[in-house]
A and B are shown apart, each in its own frame.
Chain A
Amino acid sequence: MKIIVNLDVMLAKRKMSSGALAEQIGITQANLSILKTGKAKAIRFSTLEKICEALQCQPGDILKYEK
Chain B
Amino acid sequence: MWNARKSVILSIVLLYTCAAVLLASCFFAPFVIQRLTRTDGSYTFGLLIFYICVGIAFIAITLLHRLLHNIRCEQVFIPQNSRLLRYISWCCFVVCILTFAGGFAFYSLFLVCAAAGFMGMILRVVKNILSTATALKTENELTI
Which A residues contact B (CB, under 8 angstroms)? 27, 31-32, 34-35, 39-44, 47
Q: Which residue of B lies closest to A41 (CB)?
A: B142
Question: Chain B interface: which size bin?
Answer: under 10
Minimum CB–CB distance from A24 to chain B (whole Å) comes to: 15
- What are 23 sample pairs from A and B whose C-beta atoms fall under 8 A apart? A27-B144, A31-B144, A32-B144, A34-B142, A34-B144, A35-B144, A39-B142, A40-B142, A40-B143, A40-B144, A41-B138, A41-B139, A41-B142, A41-B143, A42-B139, A42-B142, A42-B143, A42-B144, A43-B143, A43-B144, A44-B143, A44-B144, A47-B144
Residues of B within 8 A of A31 (CB): 144
**A44 vs B139: C-alpha distance in the bound complex, in angstroms?**
12
Q: Which of B90-144 contact A (CB under 8 A)?
A: 138-139, 142-144
Cβ–Cβ < 8 Å partners of A43 in chain B = 143-144
Q: Which of B139, B143, B144 has the most CB of A within 10 A?
A: B144
Among A35, A40, A44, residue most surrounded by chain B Cβ atoms (within 10 Å):
A40
A21, chain B: closest CB distance, angstroms: 12
In the complex, the chain B residue whose C-beta lies closest to that of A33 is B144
CB proximity of A33 to chain B, nearest CB, Å: 10
Q: Which residue of A lies closest to B143 (CB)?
A: A42
- List B contacts of A40 (CB < 8 A): 142-144
